[in-house]
Structures are given as C-alpha cells and as structure tokens.
Amino acid sequence: MIEKVGQHFIIGLRGPTLLPDERDFLIKYNIGGVILFDRNLQSPEQIHALCTELHSLRQETKDHAPLIVSIDMEGGRVHRLKSPFTKWPALKHIGDVNSSSLAFRFALHMGEEMRAFGINLDFAPCVDIFSNPKNVLIGDRSLSTDPEIVTHLASAIVRGYLKAGVIPCAKHFPGHGATEIDSHFDLPVSEETLMDLDKSQSLEPFKKVFKSRCDLVMTAHIKYEKIDAKWPVTLSPTFLKQILRDVLRYRGLIITDDLDMKALAKYYPKEQIPVQALVAGANILLYCNDFNSPGKAMNAVARAIKEKVIPIEQIEKNYSEILSFKKKHIGDSQMPYPLEKAMDIIKRQEHKEFAEAVASGQVQKFLQDSPE
C-alpha cells in the first residue's frame, strides 16, 4: 500500500544533484514526482544529467510508473530556467496583445525547451483574473483584469503546452486574483459567496481550460468563510468535491499548492494537513521546500488509512487515476533529448526573437504567422 500512497506526492529536492537518501526515498516509496527550483538548476548540462537520472529511477520502482518532473515556469517573475534558456516575459504581455495564436506560440516554445530537458509538467498557466490592484502575489502573473481575455487566452496556452508534450496545470482554483494577502506568509480570507464568484467570472477560465483538455488543476490556499466556514479551499470538500467535481464536472486530477505554505502551516497541525487534503478530494500533495515534510506526511496518511479516516478505496482510486494520467500525458517518452539536440532547441533564435517581441509589444511579425 505504501507505494500507492507514494504516487500521491510531488516533492522538492535539496540541490543540483540527486543525493543518495533522496534517491532511496523516491524509489522505496514510489514517489509520484519531483519539482525543480533555482537550487536544482545550474546549467543546461547539469539539468540534463539530473533529469536523465530522475527518469531512470522508474526502472527501480515497484510499478515502473514514469516520474513527473515538474517546474514553476510562467515567465516574468516566476522563471526558473536561466540563460541560455529563453527569457520569457510575464503573462500580462500576452494579455495586452490579446491574441490566441500568440498565447499558443508562447506556451509551445516554452514547452519545447522544457520538454527537451525532460521536464514534463509546468505549473502554469495562472488563470487568475487580476481583479485587485493591491494583489502583489498575482500582479503581472495574470493575463488580464478582463475575465474574457483570461478565459480566451488561457485555453490557447493550455493547447500550446500540450502540443509541446508538457502537462499544463491551471492555477489557483477558484482564483487568487482578488486577494491581498500572500498565501506564502498567511491565510487570505475572503467574504465572497459562490454567487460573487459567479458574478466576477472567476471560475470561467477554469471551465474553459478544462474543456481544452487541461487535466490538472492546483488549489488556492484561500478561506471563503461564506462558502466553507471551516476549511480553506485546499482542505475543503465543499470546494473540491461539490464545486469542482459536481458543479463544474471536472474529471482531471487535483493537486494542492505547497502544503508547507504559512497559509496552512500557521493554522493547522502539520500531520492534519495532508490527511485533510486527501479527505477533501485532492489527488496529489505538493511539498516544495521542507525536505522532512514528505516523510512525515506519508506517515500521517498511512495512519489515517489504518484508522479508516481515509478510505482505502479512495487511495486505490487515486492511484489508478494517477497512473492513467501519466500513461496519457507522459507514456514512455519522458527521457530528455540527446544533449546536443536539447541545446539546439534552447538556443533557437526564433524563440529569442519571439520572447523579445512579446516583451516589447512589437509582435506584428508573429501575428501574421500562426503556428496552430
């Protein structure tokens, strides 16, 4: 059973090489995936070697399932892959032009560079509507203040990532654009009702990307006291089961935002958080920066299964759906391309010119040539 629990986790690594204890943990517990940050990314050669080693671990795990190798790459402020990878502008620049062909190309080219190095999941796009000017967390990470623009372009971005062979993840459900507090440091609390969410059209981009075959959505650590007075979204059966599954009829996987963020860690016991997230309806648990957390969380989940707090049938169902998701989106083509070919892709002049054109707003050349 422990290997089925392990598939529910995506975890961070300490540095640019896979340490022996990390390797042992990933194999022994059949961990579903990893997430890469600046501390793990030094040069194309090092990234290529790390991702090659990570993907090779599937041969040593019990079910030989492909590993998710994920990253936060949105462009702008959230940009993990440094030169000679292309420097991509923030999503707001795409929204300012409001071209679906441009949005598609943006995600396609970014995805091509990630996929070349074995990165197969990007925690993007942000489909949050930037409805509060005081919201420093989202800001230019959002496509627009206009719900129709966000909805229209988010769908094209999803299609671009999929075309590149990279799994997109829509975030942060049900929308982080109206908050002021940064959930990395505290829990945002909203007085919005479900009717307010409908009125603001916060849910519309999610509905659209789901129809565009986006099979992964990330939850927001926000508490809507008039919708669920007890739990923030990530831990809320009301949001994950009733609204996301029943009302929106979403059938893909649900992943949490980092469960060590202060929005949750300040208010709930560390052992309770992963258990409640699964009880609420999450499929995958994300742990980014505290390297002791995944082991503790796995122990907490194992106890909850034993004590029947989490039904064993739910773990079995999640496990089956995660493997099906991986088969559909990753299959057997997860390894990085040969290094020489991968280097050619990240050095493509077309990518550099396109990114610079988007950043400057001088995109006429690319508007006449749709890649779709």
Chain segment 58-111, per-residue pLDDT in tens: 999 988 999 999 999 999 898 999 999 999 999 999 999 999 999 999 999 999
Question: Within a 13 Å sphere around the CA of 86, how many CA atoms are in the beta-carbon half?
Answer: 31
Q: What is the DSSP string of 296-350?
A: HHHHHHHHHHHTTSS-HHHHHHHHHHHHHHHHHHTTT--SPPPHHHHHHHHT-HH
Is residue 140 included in any domain, yes or no? yes
Range of the domain at 99: 2-367
Give the pLDDT confidence score for residue 113 in this predicted structure. Answer: 98
| In-domain check, residue 203 | yes
What gap in Å lies between CA 350 and CA 338, rounded to an integer? 21
Give the model's pLDDT for residue 62: 87
Q: What domain count does the chain have?
A: 1
- Residues of the chain with confidence (pLDDT) below 50: none
Active-site amino acid positions:
184, 257
> Does residue 372 fall inside a structural domain?
no
Between CA 334 and CA 228 the distance in angstroms is 40
CATH code, domain with 137: 3.20.20.300
Q: Give the pLDDT confidence score for residue 186 in this predicted structure.
A: 86
Q: Where are the alpha helices (DSSP H) in the chain?
A: 2-6, 20-28, 44-56, 91-97, 100-116, 147-164, 194-200, 204-211, 237, 262-265, 272-280, 293-306, 312-329, 339-346, 349-360, 364-367
Would residue 225 count as lying in a domain? yes
What is the pLDDT at residue 11?
Answer: 98
37/230 Cα distance (integer angstroms): 32
Q: Is residue 131 part of a domain?
A: yes
pLDDT of residue 175: 81
